[in-house]
Structure 1
């Protein structure tokens, strides 16, 4: 029987990408998508919520109403997992990342707010809601700096690399 992608058959390679190439692929994924699934845990158990995100390097950012279930969970336990993925057409196109870190909620008075806020593209929301562009929202902004990332890309098998790659933040 003919096989579309012969390189998908058989055992997966185990070769690791070097850090620079892995980071390039992760950043490409983060830059080419805008929706993620935020996984939190709270008194009522686990919660997985679709969220529109922006990123600054390996930090994922989003805004949310402080009283929402996801934000109540973050307040109770800041450890989160974020799933980001490209549309799946078939096994060869499988590409995504699991980002693990701690969520921090930054108010406009937080010293880190001004570092992250310029990367957050709020203008399109304002236009869509007929709000003036000279009145930006004032947050809060939730940021998740990645501690580790599990990156999956089955196309890597074609070049002899493992489809699942592992990234860890290096301490300065």
Structure 2
């Protein structure tokens, strides 16, 4: 369902503000967004007809803390010999996903599901196509975000390495992702 013409709720604005802090805005765009936000005032009280769902916060969410343990972990680079074999096709890319043209939210969810399934199948090397994203003079939101996502908590246990792909596989618009080995039960 489209929300065209509808304004955001207070909770939606809080959530959007937290997301917006994690990305770089186009020049001049942030000022326009700040001007369109409502004046600070008491938030209207909500009357709940039933129990609150998992997405309905009872109080405004606090800003994420800057504790060093919560920062995304950096992934290791893929070993040079393996990288060369991937680039030349001697080590197969067992699966691929194309994210370019998607929004960050769509791409994040699709990538997470893809990597979970690939890891469950025991795959080791996959190709993630982000696109170069050079329209509007930027360097590509997905191209910049995907490596950061791979180090985030929800991807923990899935990816162990990440490198820009060789020219034949998409170059700067794609990534080789090495998945962690699947742990076998007792």
TM-score range, shorter chain: under 0.3
- Normalized per residue, which structure has more strand? 1
The higher radius of gyration belongs to 2
TM-score, normalization by structure 2: 0.25
- Normalized per residue, which structure has more helix? 2
Larger RCO of the pair (alpha carbons < 8 Å, separation 6+) = 1
